[in-house]
Amino acid sequence: EQANAGVLTNFDVFDFLRARGATSDPMGCLGAVAPSECKCIQVFEYLHQSPACTQTRESIDEFLERCEKFKLSPVEKLNIINLRPSNQPEIYALVKECGKRLVKGDIDEVPELLELVNEVLPQPPPKPEAAAEQHE
């Protein structure tokens, strides 16, 4: 028996559900749906509107490799991948003691970390309300 092998990113869960045939099409599952399947559909819908739906295994692996220099904890890396911060205040919220760890004297590594996120992790999909406003 394999014990807990580690944490999963939102992308891992999204990819697993997609591989099992999950769809964002409300007509994709006609007929009786078990309560547990409803939960899977809700999770898939949430992830379909999150950064996970535009990420790839390659982009996550590249981010994990290139962010080593910042000495982030596994939880901080996971949160950055899952939430894909788009500005410096969001980085500060995700990295414990960010001001002490990523700002050393005149050297501020926060913009560099944000640049890495923007370069490697794809843009998340537009929020449904933002997409609706663009079409008006």
Question: Model confidence over 37-71: pLDDT tens digits?
Answer: 667 778 888 999 999 999 999 999 999 999 999 99
Residue 16 in domain: yes
pLDDT at 29: 52
Share of the chain above pLDDT 90, in %: 59
Provide the residue range defining the domain that includes 71. Answer: 56-120
β strands within 17-129, DSSP E: 103-104, 107-108
Q: Which tokens belong to 74?
A: 């596994």
Number of domains in the chain: 2
Nearest Cα neighbor of 121 from 70, 49, 55 is 55
Compute the distance between CA of residue 100 and CA of residue 109 in angstroms, rounded to an integer. 11
* CATH code for the domain of 98: 1.20.1250.40
Q: Residue 80 contacts by C-beta under 8 Å, 6 or more apart in sequence? A: 63, 67, 72, 91, 94, 117
Q: How far is CA 106 from the centre of its chain?
A: 30
